Amino acid sequence: MVDQSVLSITNHGSDSSTRVLSKGFTDWVFDCHGFWHNAVLILSSFLFVLYLALQARKSFVKLTNGRSYIIISYYASLWLVSILNLAWCFSQAWECSPGKELTWNLLSLFTSSGMLFLEVSLLAFLLQGNNATGVDALTRTFGISGIIVGFDVLLKAIYLFAFGVPLFIDTDYSTPRVKWNLWVIHKLVLTVVYGFILFMYHSRWRERLPARPAFYKYVIIMFIVNAIALFACGLTGSGAAFAFWFYRVTVVCYHAFYLPLLYITFLADFFQEEDFHMENVYYSEMKDAGFFESDWD
């Protein structure tokens, strides 16, 4: 009788543990924002980190031979931010879990700031020219990016921890309007910057920009994404529930596809080409595409 009771208790405890694990897995995959939202984020971020890992040995050889301080530092930063973003994507359930608000906000703050650092650094580097490889160029690039991102982190930290504004809790659109006002300003600044660069590409100042087709396409994509996010944040702050869906789509697209886009734009040529000085090739490509047509007439 005792053995049967012990066995019954043991089986009951095992069943309870199984149910808890099953419920935890179900909450992690299906709850909060839903299956497809979580699946897109997790799969895309995981596959990109896996790709970086598979290419790590080859990339290390290229970095050693190239001896570019900018590329080495940027590649290391990309690895760090990619791992942070992977952790953020795997932790979506924390956004809807009571007691996890602080952890989620800190992880989101570090992840978004790391991605913004890469974004600003890319613009700062490319505006100096593709052959900027010295320590001075590295200092200027990361110095400018560090100041901008540092101010952004400070501002968001004040909103989060001083005023209690749930910047990274997006389970409901009916959050304080001050949150959406901040995101409107954030997206407006980025949209204006990318729009100004596009204007330069179609003006007499275009020769001051790197003649790199991938960079031009990158700017167009980022301008469109930020313009949509700006529109969505503005409408959501005004109480339009449907706009909140557009905002969530831009968040998913940014975390799922921005890092691969950045890699293709900035690092892919470095790791694939034997000649690292590709400026003349880029100019030839732009000329063949008719980009400088008015200059050649």
**What tens digit of pLDDT does each residue of 162-178 get?**
998 989 988 776 778 89
* Total number of domains in the chain: 1
- Domain contains 99: yes
How does pLDDT run across 123-164, given as a tens digit for each residue? 887 666 544 556 676 777 788 899 999 999 999 999 999 998
Residue 252 lies in a domain: yes
In a domain, 267, yes or no: yes
Residue 170 lies in a domain: yes
Residue 13 located in a structural domain: no
pTM to 2 decimals? 0.81
Domain contains 23: no
* Single-letter residue type at 225: V
Q: What is the pLDDT of residue 20?
A: 40
pLDDT digits (tens, 9 = 90+) for 78-105: 999 999 999 999 999 898 888 888 999 9
Q: Which of 285, 147, 271 is nearest to 212 (CA)?
A: 285
Question: What one-character-per-residue DSSP string does 75-125 give?
Answer: HHHHHHHHHHHHHHHHTGGGGGSTT-HHHHHHHHHHHHHHHHHHHHHHHHH
In a domain, 129, yes or no: yes
Q: The domain containing residue 227 runs over which residues?
A: 29-274+282-288
Answer whether residue 165 is part of any domain: yes
What CATH code is carried by the domain that includes residue 154? Answer: 1.20.1070
